[in-house]
Amino acid sequence: MSTTTATPAPTEKLTAKDFTSDQEVRWCPGCGDYSILKQAQTIMPELGIPKENIAFVAGIGCASRFPYYMDTYGLHSIHGRATAVASGLKTTRPELSVWVVAGDGDGLSIGGNHTIHLLRRNINVNMMLFNNEIYGLTKGQYSPASPLGKISKSTPFGSIDYPFNPLALVLGAGGTFIARSMDRDPVHLRSMMKRAHEHHGTSFLEIYQNCNVFNDGAFEVFTEKASKKEETLMMEHGKPLIFGATADKGIKLDGFKPIVVNIADVSANDLWIHDERDEMKATLLTRFFDDPKKIGHMPRPFGIFLVQDKPTYDDAMNAQVADIIKAKGKGDLDALLRGRETWTIN
């Protein structure tokens, strides 16, 4: 009988399997989370960082079980607070790659405050928001991402509150990396995860994720072959915004107003060329949020809306401490205890 260590030797190239924990995955069969987990496990070996330097932090909800299934460091915290836990971890351990997994209830409702403040501070973590527009773990109540009129267990006559436009919120909170992908497009999802990792600052990746038990088909117009091309706008940096069953439509800016045009009717130069570094254009793109049932609606954009370089809070915090140590010297406990004024009793 041989004794070996549980982790491979450092020279060994890691595979997705090395990121698979020994825990049984307990999501419902057919849940979109499976695909997201698979893509995460697949890209991890390609990030070029040691496995032990990766930490997944989650709150509560179906999505938040994610850390248990990743063979990295993981913390399954409390409802809505993963972003705060991750903030404390990243600011004190900046060398770690910290990933936050949250559902739409976790990240936008109970944890909404922490989400916007994470974005405001631009702490260098990657937040994946699994948006299924429903509360799954509590068995089917509407969420702050559910569309108006949603029939759910808690809204049998239809919800009467408006949903968040999550990415517009993220942009408003100062997000420096804003992207959207979907569980049903593994190639796109993997590339978005990698880009999220590469970004230095808070990366916010919204992932449309199907809850096949409580909200089946919420995103099917975007994910199913029959409608996907017509309803989605797959953005690529430097390329014109084109969509449609036969890539026959494009977006053109008429002043500040985006309009849908037939490519045949315009010259290629007239089309909106996607620039992921343009904040004003990103603002317009996040507003492509129409109900797909609405006549004349805009297609829903996927890909990277915005990338911005901006100093991060974690860097600033550590730089400030280093600067003060440099200026004042490392703290002397005796001097601290002594204070400014003392007196002696003999």
Partner 1 sequence: MTTATQETKRQVENKELKNVVILFAGDSGDGIQLTGTQFTNTSALLGNDISTFPNFPAEIRAPQGTLAGVSGFQLHFGSVNIYTAGDHSDVMVVMNAAALKANIKSLKPGGIIIANMEGFGPKNLELAKYAKGDNPLKNGSLDKYKVYEVDVTKLTRACLEGSGLGVKDIDRSKNMFVLGFLLWMYNRSMDPTLSFLKEQFKKKPELIETNTKVLKAGYNYGETTETFTTRYEVKAAPMPKGIYRSIMGNQATAMGLIAAAKKSGLTLFYGTYPITPASDILHELAKHKNFDVKTFQAEDEIAAVCTAIGASFGGNLGVTGSSGPGIALKAEAIGLAVMLEIPLVIVNVQRGGPSTGLPTKTEQADLLQALYGRNGECPIVVVAAASPSDCFHMAFEACRISLEHMVPVMLLTDGYIANGSEPWRFPSASDIPEIKIKFATKPNSVVENADGTKIEKFLPYLRDEKLSRPWAVPGTKGLEHRIGGIEKENETGNISYDPENHEFMVKLRQEKVDRVANYVPEQKIDNGKEKGKILVLGWGSTYGSIKTAVKECIDEGIDVSHAHVKYMNPLPKNLGSILKNFDKVLMPEMNNGQFSKIIRDQFLTPTINFNKIKGIPFSSGELKEKIKEINK
Instruction: Please give the residue ranges that form the binding site for partner 1 (CB under 8 A).
Output: 1-7, 10, 21, 23, 50-55, 57, 60, 67-68, 70-78, 81, 84-93, 95-96, 113-114, 117, 317, 320-321, 324-325, 327-331, 333-334, 336-339, 341-346
- Shortest reach from residue 319's CB to partner 1, in Å: 11
Nearer to partner 1, 26 or 239 (CB): 26
- Shortest reach from residue 296's CB to partner 1, in Å: 40
Nearer to partner 1, 29 or 339 (CB): 339
Nearer to partner 1, 28 or 78 (CB): 78
158 in Cβ contact with 150 (< 8 Å) = yes
Query: Which sign does the torsion angle of CA 213, 221, 67, 84 carry?
Result: negative
Cα separation of 258 and 285, whole Å?
Answer: 9
Tokens standing for 76? 């399954």
At residue 18, φ and ψ (nearest 5 deg) are -70, -15
Cα separation of 333 and 16, whole Å?
Answer: 48
Cα separation of 271 and 287, whole Å?
Answer: 18
CB atoms within 10 A of CB 311: 12
| DSSP secondary structure letters along 132-164 | -SEETTTTSEE-TTSPTT--BTTBTT---SPPP
At residue 93, φ and ψ (nearest 5 deg) are -130, 70
Nearer to partner 1, 295 or 336 (CB): 336
Closest CA to 274 of 243, 229, 310: 243
How would you label 193-220 residue by residue, b for 16+ Cβ within 10 Å and e otherwise? bebbbebbbbbbbbbbbbbbbbbeebbb
Nearer to partner 1, 269 or 346 (CB): 346
- Shortest reach from residue 95's CB to partner 1, in Å: 7
- Shortest reach from residue 11's CB to partner 1, in Å: 13
Tokens standing for 81? 């607070």
- Shortest reach from residue 284's CB to partner 1, in Å: 29
At residue 81, φ and ψ (nearest 5 deg) are -105, 5
Cα separation of 147 and 167, whole Å?
Answer: 15
Nearer to partner 1, 24 or 265 (CB): 24
Q: How far is CA 223 from CA 34, 114, 270, in A?
A: 16, 30, 29
Nearer to partner 1, 30 or 50 (CB): 50
Nearer to partner 1, 254 or 341 (CB): 341
- Shortest reach from residue 330's CB to partner 1, in Å: 6
Nearer to partner 1, 236 or 323 (CB): 323
DSSP state, residue 108: I
- Shortest reach from residue 52's CB to partner 1, in Å: 5
Cα separation of 300 and 233, whole Å?
Answer: 6
- Shortest reach from residue 339's CB to partner 1, in Å: 5
- Shortest reach from residue 149's CB to partner 1, in Å: 32
Cα separation of 264 and 267, whole Å?
Answer: 8
